[in-house]
Structure 1
Amino acid sequence: MAATKKKTAEKSPGTSRTRLASLIKSARDTMRKDAGMNGDLDRLPQLSWLLFLKAFDERVEQEGEALDPDGYRRAIEEPYRWEDWATDRDHSGDELKSFVNEKLIPHLAGLVGDDAEDPRNVISTIFKDVVNRMQSGTLLRELVDIVNQIHFVSTDDIHTMAFVYESILKEMRDAAGDSGEFYTPRPVNRFMVQQSFLELGESILDPASGTGGFLVQAYEELKGQVKTNTQRRRLLADIRGIEKKPLPYLLGSMNLLLHGIDAPQVRRANSLLEMRTSNAADKVDVVLTNPPFGGEEESTVVKAFPDGFRTQETAWLFLYSILDQLKLGGRCAIVLPNGSLFATGENSIGAKIKKKLMKDCNLHTVVRLPQGVFAPYTQIPSNILFFEKTGPTKDVWFYEVPLPDGRRGYTKTKPMRIEEYQPCVDWWGGKEREGREAGEQAWAIPASDIIASGFNLDIANPHVGDELAHRTPEELVDELVKTETEILNQLEELRKGLGVSSSAE
């Protein structure tokens, strides 16, 4: 049976990027016809859980049987396997809808794994929150038929689907941005992973893993170093995440599966509570994260923190928790907004947490990101803090990544590119940060000065003033006019989007 399936899979036609894009478009067109689908926040999760089951069947189940025909035990058994119901044309209309709603989803949600690496745990966690939102059984049949034409049987197919899925995630981020969900652009992920200098054997955690961007980048960074099966198993166990919300958990699990992680080590939980109740065995070597900021946590979470460090601001709670979650000698790269860096004063919880940070860790680098990196979700200026749990901070280096020449910010159509970080990478000085020099974009501040300021880390580039001093009044006026014109144009576009006529019309 396994050999037959392998042969069938090998004969399945490869799915080119063009073909795949066409199928995804057809799938989304089909879902648009259904009365139960209200925008991409409904359509994309629906497509994702179906893609997950198809990919899991071909990437994990069929490959597992092919490699071990006698010993492999399927995570999903009859009649719930993909080929049992998705490819059966007798399953259609209301019958298919009833089967999916009343049998398939409850069965998958009830799976129980034997150990931490058992994929049944991932499947059950995903499907506890999955709801089939399609009201038409006929349209559901059409959608399943389209998904069934997508294949994951070769490396090329998987890479193609991963590429297309990333574009789906980008659209998902665009849709979710309006509801307050901010996601990390890929260049930021890549830069933070690259400058963390990861090594095989290190445990790596993202406590706000979302759609899995940091975890995917960390795995991609390290998988080329793997030489043995033992190393690969260790790497898969070392890539860890925690995600509170069901939708990002589903999208992230699919993302990790497509990149070769069959049983993602991502827990569905409130990471702040998880980290507060963790023990020594749960501590990690590396944390890579962009925690939610500007939000508020419920009182039960806040009360889990010590007196003097209780706040509803999520960014501070994450930073405090990460300081405890790191092993001695561990390191972290974390995104924080300017407001968090500025918080000062003896009674400020932010200042207290920064004091703990600089006492326990070497905060060696603060990378100041240009305006609009997280557009369109937020225009809040942000920074990346890099620190190591190796003892107190002596000096903090700041590096300001400038906007490209002629740019005032980033947009969905013109986002940041990874190449813009290259000057910072060249300046960095490698893993040991050797040979750093102050310059137009870089400057160092003694820890004693930061302590004297009340732990203010929102320190502007001291070279910007010099640049302005050397510009003529005409240049400054021209720049101001240009900025005001851009603002007026953006306001006019906003007016049109709201359907409001301008006075001239």
Structure 2
Amino acid sequence: MYEYRWKYFREFPAPKMYEILVDTIFPWMRTLGGEHTAFAQHMKDARFTLPREKAGVLARVVDGLDKIPMQDRDTKGDLYEYLLSKLSTAGQNGQFRTPRHIINMMVELMRPTPQDTICDPACGTAGFLVGSEEYLRDQYQNQIYADPKLKDHFENHMFHGFDFDHTMLRIAAMNMTLHGVPNPDIRNKDSLSSDHSGDSELYSLILANPPFKGSLDESSVAKDLTSIVKTKKTELLFLALFLRLLKTGGRAAVIVPDGVLFGSSKAHKQIRETIVEHHKLDGIISLPSGVFKPYAGVSTAIMIFTKTGRGGTDNVWFYDMHADGYSLDDKRNPIAENDIPDIIRRWHQRQEEQGKPRTDQSFFVPKDEIKANNYDLSINRYKETQHEAVEYAAPDRILDDLDKLEGEIQAGLKRLREMLA
């Protein structure tokens, strides 16, 4: 394969490039990392599908890539992430790509450690796993690579992602490989329909933005999930799944549609009560409705909780995000307003926010009040709006002003009639 290294490959004519990719590079790539790795498993059917007559397009792509510095792992990963960002259509099952800055915010909120075992049960392109990997390299690289056990855990046992879309699994495996994780657990699995006995209570951290596509057929829902909440609604079943997969003491930061927070059905109330009463609900961050445009305009929130099995909710921290650094329309252009640094700062110093008024952007709500409101977790239930006092003139002064205006109108009409006479 030495003769196909980049410094030689980039000099070949377009037809030769095409021939090498189809006949040599792709067959070799399907075995990269060993036959038992996630990459090899999901790439075994990969094919180079650009038509032969478009070989000139391939040559232009090679010329463009050649101008990008590729000396380090981050550049390759960032380039791949950029290409993923250009996937402008949502999946058929309600998937849409979570913006990278939202992923990074959630990772910063949870601050994974080298000892964590991280899972995304609806991983898509593995954005949350990649975000966690990058955070860990930035914060703990020397510690991880100085300890053989931590290094082995990082490369082979830390990252777990499930999805049932073969295209997404292939992208996820490639994404993790390009970001320096040789053997992640990227698995073909329908998380809501499969039995979870093999994954139950295995993970210390869950980061996820699962697809919410309505309801499943009751017979297809995993029985260990309906034992937590009896429902066919996917948004509630995913919360039950997170509780099932987390080990005791495990933490989760997950994106949910707003309806989960205030839905009035028995199942909605049941899952909220379960999290508040039997585990520890830590925080709710309300996101503006344009965060996922152009894919979707749904209103969502980030729910942060810890699995305890014995309660622990005391005061729940709420934050009302107004801006994420981008316009909230379909264009999503960068803007100056950005609450994300403030959210991260306040979250990690939230105990200092006790007693803040509910007119502020963040505040605490005691569990007893949430319970009294049927476990409603919508921020609008608790946020208070401060209205500025407006002083009006005395009624007789207003009437005098109206008389004056009436006189001016009549005088103007008289002059107009004289002009027309």
- Tell me, yes or no, if the aligned pair for 1:275 and 1:321 is still in contact at 8 Å: no
Separation of aligned partners in 2, 1:292 and 1:179:
7
User: Which residue number corresponds to residue 187 of structure 1?
Assistant: 101
Q: Note the C-alpha offset of 1:336.
A: 0.6
1:432-472 deviations in Å (ceiling 9; x for gaps): x43123241122222222222222111317555214x5479
- How far apart in 2 are the matches of 1:446 and 1:148? 58
Amino acid at match of 2:250: G
User: Secondary structure at 1:240's aligned position in 2?
Assistant: strand
Q: 2:301 aligns with which of 367, 370, 383?
A: 383
The letter of the residue matching 2:372 is: A
Match of 2:42 in 1: 125
Q: How far, CA to CA, are the matches of 2:96 and 2:187 in structure 1? A: 20
Superposed displacement of residue 146, structure 1: 5.8
How far did residue 333 of structure 1 move? 0.3
Residue of structure 2 in register with 1:161 after alignment: 76
Q: How many residues align?
A: 378
Q: Structure 1 stretch 253-262 or stretch 318-327: which is displaced more?
A: 253-262
User: How far is the alpha carbon of 1:351 from its aligned partner?
Assistant: 1.3
Does residue 12 of structure 1 match 2:15? no
CA positional deviation for 1:151: 6.9
CA contact 2:258–2:300 (8 Å) conserved in 1: yes
CA drift of 1:126 comes to 3.1
Q: Deviations over 1:243-265 (max 9, x none)?
A: 22112222222222221123332
Q: 2:255–2:302: 8 Å Cα contact kept in structure 1?
A: yes
1:425 to 337, 344, 352: 344
Partner of residue 209, structure 2: 290
Q: Report the alpha carbon displacement of residue 290 of structure 1 after superposing the two structures with TM.
A: 0.7
Consecutive unaligned residues in structure 1, runs of 5 or more:
16-82, 474-505
Cα distance in structure 2, aligned partners of 1:363 and 1:108: 45
Supply the distance in 1 between the matched residues of 2:391 and 2:42 (Cα, whole angstroms): 62
Residue of structure 2 equivalent to 1:411: 330
- Write the distance in 2 (CA, Å) between the matches of 1:92 and 1:155: 24
Report the CA distance between 1:278 and its aligned residue. Answer: 2.5
Report the CA distance shift for 1:472/1:349 in structure 2 as closer, same or farther (over 3 A): farther
> Which residue number corresponds to residue 322 of structure 2?
402
Residue number among 152, 173, 176 corresponding to 1:233 in the alignment: 152
Q: Does 1:363 align with 2:278?
A: no
In structure 1, the residue matched to 2:414 is none
- Native 8 Å contact 2:284 2:304 kept in 1: yes
The reply on whether 1:196 has 2:114 as its aligned counterpart is no
Counterpart of 1:226 in 2: which secondary structure? Answer: helix
- Residue by residue, what CA displacement relative to the aligned partner does 1:310-365 show, whole Å, maximum 9, x if unpaired? 333211111101111111111000101111111235xx112111121122321011
Structure 1 segment 60-459 matched on structure 2, within 5 A: 89=16, 92=19, 118-119=36-37, 121-128=38-45, 130=46, 133-134=49-50, 136-139=51-54, 141-142=55-56, 150=65, 156=71, 158-172=73-87, 174-176=88-90, 180-224=94-138, 225-227=140-142, 228=146, 230=148, 231-236=150-155, 237-274=157-194, 276-279=196-199, 283-302=202-221, 304=223, 305-306=225-226, 309-345=229-265, 348-390=266-308, 391-392=310-311, 393-403=313-323, 409-414=328-333, 419-430=338-349, 433-437=350-354, 438-439=356-357, 440-459=360-379
- Which string of whole-angstrom CA distances, capped at 9 and with x for unpartnered residues, describes residues 162-188 of structure 1? 33322221111x223688432211111
Unaligned runs of 5+ in 2: 393-421
Q: Secondary structure at the match of 2:284?
A: strand
CA distance in 2, matches of 1:343, 1:446: 20
Task: Write out the 4+ residue segments of structure 1 that deviate beyond 6 Å after TM superposition.
Answer: 107-112, 151-154
- Secondary structure of 1:195's aligned partner: helix
Cα 1:360–1:202 change in 2 (3 A) is same
What is the RMSD computed on CA atoms of the aligned residues?
A: 4.0
C-alpha spacing 1:92/1:284, structure 2 compared with 1 (3 Å): closer
SS at match of 2:210: coil
Residues 302 and 274 of structure 1: is their aligned pair in 2 closer, same or farther, counting only changes over 3 Å? closer
Q: Deviations over 1:53-107 (max 9, x none)?
A: xxxxxxxxxxxxxxxxxxxxxxxxxxxxxx9xx99949859xx97x69xxx77x9
Write out per-residue CA displacement over residues 169-225 of structure 1, whole angstroms, 9 at most, x where no aligned residue.
1111x2236884322111110111111021111101111111111111100111241
More strand by share: 2
Is the contact between residue 152 and residue 158 of structure 1 (CA under 8 Å) also seen in structure 2?
no
Q: TM-score, normalised by structure 1?
A: 0.64
Other structure's SS at 1:181 match:
coil
Cα drift, residue 412 of structure 1: 3.0
Q: Cα 1:320–1:263, aligned 2, differ >3 Å: closer, same or farther?
A: same
CA distance in 1, matches of 2:260, 2:16: 57
Shift of 1:267: 0.9
Identical residues among aligned pairs (%): 24
